[in-house]
C-alpha cells in the first residue's frame, strides 16, 4: 500500500494573472511536490468571496449565510496538513481578496473549529513597503485559527512589475528554501 501523501493547500491572494506572489508560491510548492506532498493551489482572483456582513450571529449559525466561494476555500484549508498563504502587499497589508477570506473565517472561529495544519508558509511580495505588516497580518490569522504551536515559515521581498519575481533568483531561492523547510516539518525528505 502506498503511503498517504501530506496535503498542502496554497491560497494566492493576488488579483493578477502573472503575479509575483503566484511565482513564489509555485516555487515553494515545487519543492514540496518533489519531496512527495500533494499540492493544490487556489487563486482567489478566480473566485467570488464577498466581505463579511458583521451581523454578529456567526456563533449561532451552522454555516455562513453568504453563499459564494469562501466556504469551499476554507473547507480545503481546514483539512490541509500544510497551509501556504500568499499575498501582494497593498497599502501596508494583505490584499483585499485575502482579507475578505480571512474575515469570512469568523463563523468557524466562533464554532471553535481550528486549522489542522502541521506547518504554515507565509509569502508576501511588496513594491516598496509593508512587507512585515502583511506577514504579521497573516501570522495573526493563523494564530487565531489554530490550536497550539506549529512551525510558521515566511518568505518575501520586493518585486513591483508584474511577473518580475519569476526572474528574481534571490526571491525564488527564498521561496524554495521555505518549501524545503515545510517539507521537513511534514516529515518528508526535501530533495
Place of cell 459564494: 68
pTM, full prediction: 0.96
- pLDDT tens for each residue of 91-122: 999 999 999 999 999 989 988 999 999 999 99
Grid coordinates in use for 187? Answer: 516529515
Specify the DSSP element, H or E, that contains 10.
Answer: strand 7-12
pLDDT band at 54 (very low <50, low <70, confident <90, very high): confident
Residue closest to 155 by CA, chosen among 142, 165, 146, 144 = 165
Structural domains of the chain in order of their starting residue, each with its CATH number: 7-185 (3.40.50.360)
Residues 6+ apart with CB under 8 A from 63: 71, 107
Amino acid at each position: 500500500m502506498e503511503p498517504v501523501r501530506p496535503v498542502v493547500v496554497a491560497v494566492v491572494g493576488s488579483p493578477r494573472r502573472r503575479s509575483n506572489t503566484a511565482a513564489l508560491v509555485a516555487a515553494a510548492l515545487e519543492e514540496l511536490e518533489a519531496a512527495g506532498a500533494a499540492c493544490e493551489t487556489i487563486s482567489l482572483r478566480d473566485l467570488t468571496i464577498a466581505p463579511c456582513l458583521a451581523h454578529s450571529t456567526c456563533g449561532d449559525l451552522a454555516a455562513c449565510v453568504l453563499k459564494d466561494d469562501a466556504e469551499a476555500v476554507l473547507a480545503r484549508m481546514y483539512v490541509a496538513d500544510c497551509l501556504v498563504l500568499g499575498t501582494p502587499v497593498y497599502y501596508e497589508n494583505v490584499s483585499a481578496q485575502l482579507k475578505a477570506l480571512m474575515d469570512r473565517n469568523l463563523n468557524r472561529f466562533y464554532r471553535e473549529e481550528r486549522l489542522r495544519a502541521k506547518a504554515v508558509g507565509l509569502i508576501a511580495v511588496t513594491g516598496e513597503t509593508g512587507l512585515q505588516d502583511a506577514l504579521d497580518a497573516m501570522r495573526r490569522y493563523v494564530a487565531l485559527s489554530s490550536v497550539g504551536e506549529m512551525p510558521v515559515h515566511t518568505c518575501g521581498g520586493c518585486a513591483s512589475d508584474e511577473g518580475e519575481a519569476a526572474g528574481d533568483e534571490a526571491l525564488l531561492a527564498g521561496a524554495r528554501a521555505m518549501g524545503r523547510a515545510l517539507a521537513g516539518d511534514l516529515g518528508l525528505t526535501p530533495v
